[in-house]
Amino acid sequence: MDASAPAPLRLLSANIQAGARTDAFRDYVTRLHSQVLPHASKRGNLENFAGHLGDFDLVGLQESDPGSLRSGFLNQTHYLAERAGFPYWSHQPNRRVGRFATSANALLCRHPPDEVRDYALPGRIAGRGVLWARFGKDHDALVVLIAHLSLGAKSRLAQLAFIAELVQEAPHAVLMGDLNCEADSGELRHFYRQSGFEPPADRLPTFPSWKPKRAIDHILTTPNLQVLRRWALPNLASDHLPMAAEIALPRGAAKEPS
């Protein structure tokens, strides 16, 4: 590897289901109380997850509870940042379920972004958003977006069109999150044409975590970023497997830790 090139960047994206573990479809019914009430196992699940984050530079979270009843009023993003040794974190609370639960997109990073923005996403049902972060300045900046898209294809199409607008002038960009659709879906194919993002080279199923069949968790990049490898982590918590990637930045691009 060229010694003058920036060191590879290690990324992780995970839908953590507010710390609730799911091991079978029946758990959605038998453990329904854990979705709206605090439970001791959630802290242990978060501890287990935090123990696997040390090798990553940037972590994007979906369904991180920012401090509602179901998490015991624990800000899970802050907790994970402290337990895994990330000095900088940001979150975007966006989905409220009655009085009991709130979900957030979140970012953990080793060094501070130059700018962070919250955007609400369009959709038939309000409550989806994208967390936007910029590392560096001008043409060499690295832009990272974290999103959890809707279940409906029509809403996802509108949401991805909105995200495409955000990256029109970002040659070095990463989109990661639970996009609720496969890489070859109609809405993502349209997104590639709009945004210049590239489809992944391989298909890595991440849902459901106990028997993955659907590849709906993604780390997507623009062509100026070379993906060295992508892999799914084992079931640490949640009903999704975490998605990881190692990317090479071109010479001159702003590496996240700078």
Highest mean pLDDT, choosing among 3-7, 63-67, 69-73, 218-222: 218-222
Return the pLDDT at 38.
53
Domain assignment present for 2? no
Q: Evaluate if pTM is beyond 0.85.
A: yes
- Convert the pLDDT of each residue in 86-114 to its tens digit: 999 999 988 766 566 788 999 999 999 99
Domain assignment present for 51? yes
Given a cut of 90, whether residue 163 has pLDDT beyond it is yes
Residue count of the chain: 258
Return the pLDDT at 99.
61
Residue 116, classified by CB atoms within 10 Å of its CB into exposed (0-12), middle (13-18) or buried (19+), is middle
Residue partners of 51: CB distance under 8 A and separation at least 6: 83, 84
Domain assignment present for 113? yes
Collapsing DSSP to helix, strand or coil, 84 comes out as helix
Kindly give the residue spans of alpha helices, DSSP state H, lying in the chain: 27-30, 33-36, 40-50, 76-84, 153-166, 186-195
- Convert the pLDDT of each residue in 177-215 to its tens digit: 999 999 999 999 999 999 999 999 999 999 999 999 999
**CA separation for the pair 214, 221 (Å, rounded):** 20
Q: How many domains does the chain have?
A: 1
Domain assignment present for 168? yes
Residue partners of 154: CB distance under 8 A and separation at least 6: 124
Domain assignment present for 190? yes
| Domain extent at residue 126 | 9-248
The CATH number linked to 29 is 3.60.10.10
Domain assignment present for 4? no
**CA separation for the pair 63, 71 (Å, rounded):** 11
Given a cut of 60, whether residue 3 has pLDDT beyond it is no
Distances (CA, A) of 254 to 112, 145, 153, 176, 250: 12, 16, 34, 18, 9
Using DSSP bridges, classify how beta strands 217-221 and 173-178 pair: parallel, antiparallel or unpaired. Answer: antiparallel
The helix (run of H) or strand (run of E) holding residue 245 is strand 243-248
| CA dihedral angle for residue 209, residue 177, residue 49, residue 135, rounded to 10 degrees | 160
Domain assignment present for 92? yes
Contact 144, 133 (CB under 8 A): yes
DSSP-based helix, strand, coil % in the chain, nearest 5: 25, 30, 45
Domain assignment present for 3? no
